[in-house]
């Protein structure tokens, strides 16, 4: 794995219209940290082709990245600008507690 793959993958995603602020997760192969430091909570899962990664000096490596799905917590692309979201510190998924806690509030349907 070389560092050169990171900009390659990021470049593909950028070409696909995904912001560089996106966290990448290449299923089953390797994980990439955010291409640039950001508080953007967007998460994109991508598939990478094994064959494409198994390159050699004779056959330059090429990473093919396919955007599989964009999660609901990805902020939508604005018509202009990209101000930081107000809920940037929010968790991408809920975290269960390991113990039963005393009820602090009651919710109802709406």
* Identity of the residue, 37 or 72, whose beta carbon is nearer to other proteins in the bound complex: 72
Q: Which residues contact 61 (CB under 8 A, 6 or more apart)?
A: 5, 52, 53, 55
Q: Which residues contact 42 (CB under 8 A, 6 or more apart)?
A: 18, 19, 21, 22, 23, 70, 71, 73, 74, 75
Which residue in 2, 56, 59, 99 binds other proteins (CB under 8 A)?
Answer: 99
Distance CA 75, CA 83 (A): 10
Residues 76-95 binding other proteins (CB under 8 A) are: 76, 78-83, 85-87, 89-95
Our finding on whether 1 is near other proteins (CB under 8 A) is no
Residues 39-78 binding other proteins (CB under 8 A) are: 69-76, 78
Our finding on whether 37 is near other proteins (CB under 8 A) is no
Interface residues toward other proteins, by CB under 8 A: 69-76, 78-83, 85-87, 89-110
């Amino acid at each position: 794995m070389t560092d050169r793959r990171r900009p390659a993958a990021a470049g593909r995603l950028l070409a696909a219209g995904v912001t560089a602020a996106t966290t990448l997760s290449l299923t089953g192969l390797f994980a990439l940290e955010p291409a640039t430091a950001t508080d953007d909570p967007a998460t994109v899962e991508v598939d990478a082709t094994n064959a494409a990664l198994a390159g050699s000096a004779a056959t330059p490596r090429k990473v093919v990245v396919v955007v599989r799905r964009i999660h609901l917590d990805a902020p939508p692309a604005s018509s202009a600008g990209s101000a930081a979201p107000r809920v940037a510190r929010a968790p991408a998924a809920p975290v269960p507690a390991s113990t039963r806690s005393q009820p602090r509030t009651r919710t109802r349907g709406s």
